[in-house]
């Protein structure tokens, strides 16, 4: 990975998804905004789809993370097995320290 955009979050770190609802081409699912999970790994740097969606070149690139959430933290009254989780790929600008 280049040093231009060093991963701001480390493996295992707890992160909260921004609870924002802006217009535009947003790849962060609605249901996960505001939820807390932990970083599984940084996946690399990719062109920003929010800007690509507008016909721009997608720069600057953003680091994408695989983030794991416990289903019980995502859904109210979740009654599946306690260890159930969901992994979602989320761009760095949608994450903050939790």
Partner 1 sequence: MRGPHDVGGTPTGPVDTDPHKMTFWEKQIDAIHTLLGDEKRHITTRDENRYAIESLGHDAYARLTYYERWTAAMAAQLVRKGVVTQDEIDAKVAEIKQRLEETGEIE
Judged by the rule CB under 8 A, the positions of this chain that interact with partner 1 are 21, 23-26, 29-32, 49, 52-55, 58, 75
Tell the smallest beta-carbon distance from residue 81 to partner 1 (Å).
Answer: 18
How far are the Cα atoms of 3, 13, 27, 83, 96 from residue 46, in angstroms, in the given order? 14, 21, 13, 31, 19
List strand residue ranges (DSSP E) for 1-98, in order.
14-17, 36-46, 62-70, 85-91, 95-97
Q: Which is nearer to partner 1, 24 or 81 (CB)?
A: 24
Q: Which is nearer to partner 1, 10 or 25 (CB)?
A: 25
Answer yes or no: are the C-beta atoms of 67 and 37 closer than 8 Å. Answer: yes
Q: Strand 95-97 and strand 14-17: pairing?
A: antiparallel
Q: Which is nearer to partner 1, 48 or 92 (CB)?
A: 48
Tell the smallest beta-carbon distance from residue 75 to partner 1 (Å).
Answer: 7
Tell the smallest beta-carbon distance from residue 22 to partner 1 (Å).
Answer: 8
Q: Which is nearer to partner 1, 26 or 40 (CB)?
A: 26
């Amino acid at each position: 990975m280049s040093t231009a955009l060093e991963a701001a979050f480390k493996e295992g770190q707890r992160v909260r998804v921004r609870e924002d609802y802006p217009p535009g081409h947003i790849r962060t699912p609605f249901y996960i905004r505001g939820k807390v999970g932990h970083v599984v790994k940084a996946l690399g740097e990719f062109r920003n789809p929010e800007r690509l969606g507008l016909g721009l070149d997608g720069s600057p690139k953003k680091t994408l993370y695989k983030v794991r959430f416990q289903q019980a933290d995502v859904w109210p009254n979740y009654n599946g097995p306690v260890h159930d989780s969901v992994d979602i790929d989320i761009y760095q600008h949608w994450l903050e320290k939790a």
